[in-house]
Amino acid sequence: MEMNELTPHVEELKKVLEEKVSEEQIISELNTYLNVYHVSLDAAKRGIIRKYGGDVFVTAESISKKIADLNGSEQNVDITGRAVFVEKKDIQVRGAPKTILSGIFGDETATAPFTIWDIGSIEMEKGKTYVLKNAYTKLWNDKVQINLGSRGIVERSDAEIELPERTITYTSSEVKIEELREGIGNVIVTGRVINVEERTIQGQDGPRTVYSGEIADDTGKIQFSAWADFGLKTGETIRIENAYIRAWRSIPQLNFGEKSEVSRVDDTFDSVITSNSKSIADLIKIGGGIDISVTGTVVDMRAGSGLIRRCPDCNRSVLNDECVAHGKITAVPDLRMKMVIDDGTGAINAIVNRDDTERLTGITLENALQIVKDLSDPEAVSRTISDKMMFKDVIATGNVMSDDYGPMMIVKSVVLNETDVEKEAEALFNEVEGSL
């Protein structure tokens, strides 16, 4: 976008942030979100407000809408409907624990998933009618999601809500793993069990056993949760009927239980995918995945790279030896990179662990501690790492998740992508010559 197009949005952000951030900072942040991370303008503004102000902003008087009329870009809307399904969840947000309220909300026109991010004393019951005030919406996989932040209000309503009748089909469709997306239901998936483990979780009705692991076919790999004991074994190929997809931190997960059918089948795959190469543009569309491989150029080294300190109990990065979960602690030093990788179709944040940081840069943790000691400058290590890694071509593999800031990879492995310049030049020459 041109600067003159951004001016009203800059002024709006300045007003909402109450001059906490300079105009130059806001322009720089907008440029990064729009041109580096390639997110939408609305997502960029939400991200800046959360970064500096703590929550999504409200810029106008709220309006009331029916769920079918929501377009996914509302910033301040009131919605009256019935709680079709409600549950509390404990999640991690930027490394800190948080309890949210989520479920399905419906009116006479449609239903949509909702999330209340600051629940406070809010209580909702399945089947009751409520007014969700000061809500905001966004699109995920072309479906509207309703959200309430700290300015959101939930009020009981006496309105009579008749939910629309749903047409239910019992016909399953066979889907390859790379095609699975959040919200898809009643699918048939065939794949090889890569690993499986049994664990006990605390459900609403007490302890419950779940069998989780990874399954792959010749197009991709996905995590699964089996809510019944199907006797799954590593290495066998299974066909799952009536499975459904839910997402955790934007990573699709395959779920199946007592209503599903699992059968053993002959393995027809020449090989299964253990890592899946994707363009960043594809990742932005699908939201995330496991063992994704991305090839691109390091275009930025973000704050938080270099020498950091972690809580010895929970491994969170900390400042001033103070952990949000464990209070005052004796922090332990660590080394990492928070790089931005661009492949020409988009950009992704990638967090690289100590081992790969040391291997790629040649700077060990001991070297880093000595640099800080010699120069009395905590940022010296980050600058040195940046000098060594900027504009290097890399191949990074890891799990990818997404939020309002765009996709982010927790890197499992990263290597330099050694380019054969002569070979590429010859290929380009032949392509150009062939087109003449």
Instruction: Report pLDDT for 367.
Output: 95
Are the C-beta atoms of residues 136 and 153 closer than 8 Å to each other?
Answer: no
Lowest mean pLDDT among 130-134, 243-247, 345-349, 403-407: 403-407
User: CA 96 from chain center: how many Å?
Assistant: 15
Q: How far is CA 129 from CA 60, 125, 154, 263, 342, in A?
A: 25, 9, 10, 42, 46
Residue 264 is predicted with a pLDDT of 94
Listed range (73-77, 183-187, 422-426) with the worst mean pLDDT: 422-426
The runs of H, that is alpha helices, within 92-178 are: none
Contact of 294 with 409, CB cutoff 8 Å: yes
162's tokens = 């008749």
C-alpha–C-alpha distance, residues 212 and 191, integer Å:
14
Q: How far apart are CA 136 and CA 128, in angstroms?
A: 21
State the pLDDT at residue 56. Answer: 46
- Intrachain domains 63-156 and 276-421 with the same fold: yes
Using the predicted structure, report yes or no on whether residue 378 has a pLDDT greater than 60.
yes
Q: What secondary structure letter does DSSP report for 319?
A: B
Eight-state DSSP code of residue 125: -
Q: Looking at 123-132, 164-173, 246-255, 338-347, which range is the least confident one?
A: 164-173
Choose the weakest-confidence range: 9-23, 263-277, 334-348, 350-364: 9-23
CA proximity to 152, closest of 98, 91, 101, 82: 101
Mean pLDDT of 200-222: 85
CA dist 267 and 270 (Å) reads 8
- The pLDDT score that the predictor gives to residue 95 is 63
Can you tell me the mean pLDDT for 370-389? 92
pLDDT in tens, 69-113: 898 878 789 999 999 889 888 876 666 788 899 889 999 988 899
Q: In the 8-state DSSP scheme, what is residue 35?
A: I
**H-helix or E-strand containing 431?**
helix 421-435
Which has the minimum average pLDDT: 46-50, 335-339, 376-380, 411-415? 46-50
pLDDT number for residue 234:
95
Average pLDDT of the chain to the nearest whole number:
84
Mean pLDDT, range 398-412, rounded to an integer: 85
Question: pTM here?
Answer: 0.56
pLDDT at position 344 over 80: yes
Query: CB-based contacts of 369: which residues, under 8 Å, 6+ apart?
Result: 307, 333
pLDDT in tens, 115-154: 998 888 889 999 999 999 989 888 765 678 999 987 789 9
Give me the amino acid identity at 20: K
Q: Find the DSSP H helices in 247-394.
A: 280-286, 354-361, 365-375, 380-389
Residue 44: which of 70, 10, 74, 77 has the closest Cα? Answer: 10
User: Percent of the chain at pLDDT above 70?
Assistant: 86
- Structural domain spans, the chain: 3-52, 63-156, 173-264, 276-421
CATH number belonging to domain 173-264 = 2.40.50.140
CATH for 276-421 is: 2.40.50.140
Topology annotation, domain 63-156:
OB fold (Dihydrolipoamide Acetyltransferase, E2P) (2.40.50)
Q: What is the DSSP letter of 119?
A: -
Least confidently predicted of 61-65, 185-189, 217-221, 233-237:
61-65
